[in-house]
Amino acid sequence: MENGSWEVLGSKGLVKRHEFVRIMVQCLYSLGFKKSASCLENESNISCKSDDFAILEMQVLSGNWGSCLGVLDRIFDNPKDDVRNTALYLVFKQCLFEYLKRGDASSALNVLRKQAPMLLVGKEKIHRLACDIISSKEMESGEVDNCLVQDLRKRLLVELEMLIPSPIVIPERRLEHLVETAVMDQIDSCMYHNSWDAVSLYKDHHCGRDQIPSETVQILMAHKNEVWFVQFSNNGKYLATASSDCTAIIWKVLDDNKLELKHTLQSHQNPVSFVSWSPDDTKLLTCGNAEVLKLWDVDTGVLRHTFGNNDNGFTVSSCAWFPDSTRLVWGSSDPERGIVMWDTDGNEIKAWRGTRIPKVVDLAVTPDGESMITVFSDKDIRILNLETKVERVISEEQPITSLSISANGKFFIVNLSSQEIHLWDLAGEWKQPLKFSGHKQSKYVIRSCFGGLDSLFIASGSENSQVYIWNLKNAKPLEVLSGHSMTVNCVSWNPRNPRMLASASDDQTIRIWGPAKLKNQLDNRKLQ
């Protein structure tokens, strides 16, 4: 009989006092505070081990199998319960082991033939016991090592603990589990959560705006015309931008998070609308809507190879790399070009052409290199598994302008000219996409990207010159960033720095966004 078992705690009276004390005792024991735990048990008159379990423990450790089985039979009252029968089976097994070690075969057989069936353990378990006798090496008669027997009895007790239900035995580390559940719930409803740091238990977890990029920290002015594309390298150390001034620029991210121009890539004769970093970040691909595809060396800024030529109205709308950084694939909005896979030396490996391949609007390869996603101008998204050749098609209802895959390769987003961003899962289990809106898009190609901790955020450009940020949990924007003076075409979130975002605009600039500093500065002043 436990003290105060009728008392409840908490403002809603949902928590039973004696249960609360009992899990506290368990917690103290598991943290190693044996004296304190024992003290609390005495003071509260509530012990961690239930009476039933204390009895069971005594019987097991002294090998009183008959009583032990009796206790278990009482605890588990349903003979059809497999957990009950497993527990009984374990006890019988230990019992048989001890009989056989002593050379007492007839007692062992008696267990099998009389005791086990009497407790309705079930035919399957009895047969398994018979097999255990023969097949387990331990059961051969021999030296009875008392230490070994005691060890095995302790191990049996541990196994029984895992089977016996509460309240006789409470699950391990119960208090820790309850606290962790509460913390996870708080994190779940935290919209700005963007950091890996452990949470403090002293106050309810609630991240502030300062966790995500929301203010301009730098404006990059080097392009001489509209900037159409921007993308951070995979290692987060570089940024590439592409412009209708027919150049692409590689910028370096310095230690103080400021960016500095490294190389200007000049060679294209027409506007550059797309770039792609090789997975190892040593090479960069650039291409444009009425342009060829060029391969550059990142370190030196030197042009390595040109795919195609400008004479025949060549046009590559999009390109992507394979994980080996030596194979790449491009898609063309010219149906005759189709989709072609190359190696970096300029050899064609594979091609998809023909009537089934209309204009390619955008394409991407999953980080593991297994699937290729292509967006076609007829509003189809096709996901092709390159190994099995199985293809899945998603038909959207509005024209799609761009595609982006998450870092873990499990999800992708598409921008639709109906001013919605649709999020789909690559595995194909979702019947409907998650939808995000709030930005403006109707005439131009606007691009979005995943970002932040575990890709929990999406950012997008917009025709109203603002940058939009959503938390995946909510269809409405979390933040709207102002600064640009014209349409924002493209955004890129630094994969290694969840607090750095870049945006490219028709106003010829690139803006780098970072966390709001104002609150921290105020706090620092107060401390002084």
Partner 1 sequence: MDPRQFEHIVVNDNDTHSIVMSYLLHNCFSETADSLASSTGIKQPAIDRDNLERRKQIIHFILEKKALKAVELTEQLAQDLLEKNKDLHFDLLCLHFVELACAGNCAEALEFGQTRLAPFGKAQKYVEKLEDVMALLAYEDPEKSPMFHLLSSENRQQVADNLNRTILEHVNHPGYTPMERLLQHVTVVRQYLTEENGKDVFPPFSLKDSLKG
Q: Is 477 helix (H, G, I), strand (E, B) or coil?
A: coil
Do 397 and 383 touch, CB atoms closer than 8 A?
Answer: no
d(CA 138, CA 146): 14
Binder of partner 1 out of 23, 69, 75, 133 (CB under 8 A): 133
CB of 107 to partner 1, least distance (A): 12
Distances (CA, A) of 458 to 88, 417, 477, 492, 510: 55, 17, 9, 10, 18
**Binding of partner 1 at residue 121 (CB under 8 A)?**
no
d(CA 482, CA 99): 81
**Binding of partner 1 at residue 134 (CB under 8 A)?**
yes
Binder of partner 1 out of 60, 91, 116, 328 (CB under 8 A): 116
End-to-end CA distance of the chain: 57
Binder of partner 1 out of 8, 27, 55, 112 (CB under 8 A): 112
**Binding of partner 1 at residue 431 (CB under 8 A)?**
no
Binder of partner 1 out of 31, 58, 131, 184 (CB under 8 A): 131
Please give the DSSP secondary-structure letter assigned to residue 87.
H
Pairing of strands 293-297, 303-307: antiparallel
CB of 139 to partner 1, least distance (A): 7
**Binding of partner 1 at residue 162 (CB under 8 A)?**
no
Q: Within 488-517, which residues bind partner 1 (CB under 8 A)? A: none
CB of 128 to partner 1, least distance (A): 7
Span from 18-26, 101-109, 142-150, 282-290 in contact with partner 1 (CB under 8 A): 101-109
Backbone phi and psi for residue 434, each to the nearest 5 degrees, phi listed first = -85, 140
Binder of partner 1 out of 23, 25, 139, 449 (CB under 8 A): 139
Nearer to partner 1, 39 or 105 (CB): 105
Span from 32-40, 130-138, 245-253, 451-459 in contact with partner 1 (CB under 8 A): 130-138
**Binding of partner 1 at residue 107 (CB under 8 A)?**
no
Please name the helix (run of DSSP H) or strand (run of DSSP E) that holds residue 160, with its range, or none: helix 146-163
Nearer to partner 1, 92 or 436 (CB): 92
d(CA 346, CA 478): 44
C-alpha torsion sign, points 243, 248, 252, 253: positive
Binder of partner 1 out of 12, 123, 203, 526 (CB under 8 A): 123
Do 208 and 192 touch, CB atoms closer than 8 A?
Answer: yes
**Binding of partner 1 at residue 109 (CB under 8 A)?**
yes
d(CA 369, CA 328): 11
**Binding of partner 1 at residue 140 (CB under 8 A)?**
yes
**Binding of partner 1 at residue 126 (CB under 8 A)?**
yes
Length of the chain in residues, anyone? 528
**Binding of partner 1 at residue 143 (CB under 8 A)?**
no
Nearer to partner 1, 123 or 526 (CB): 123
**Binding of partner 1 at residue 432 (CB under 8 A)?**
no
**Binding of partner 1 at residue 129 (CB under 8 A)?**
yes
Token pair for residue 374?
A: 């292509």
Nearer to partner 1, 54 or 105 (CB): 105
| Number of residues binding to partner 1, judged by CB under 8 A | 18
Please name the helix (run of DSSP H) or strand (run of DSSP E) that holds residue 229, with its range, or none: strand 227-232
CB of 141 to partner 1, least distance (A): 9
d(CA 418, CA 92): 69
CB of 145 to partner 1, least distance (A): 19
Pairing of strands 339-343, 327-331: antiparallel
**Binding of partner 1 at residue 130 (CB under 8 A)?**
yes
d(CA 509, CA 501): 14
What residues are paired with 117 via a beta bridge?
A: none
Residues that bind partner 1 (CB under 8 A): 105-106, 109, 112-113, 116, 123, 126-131, 133-135, 139-140
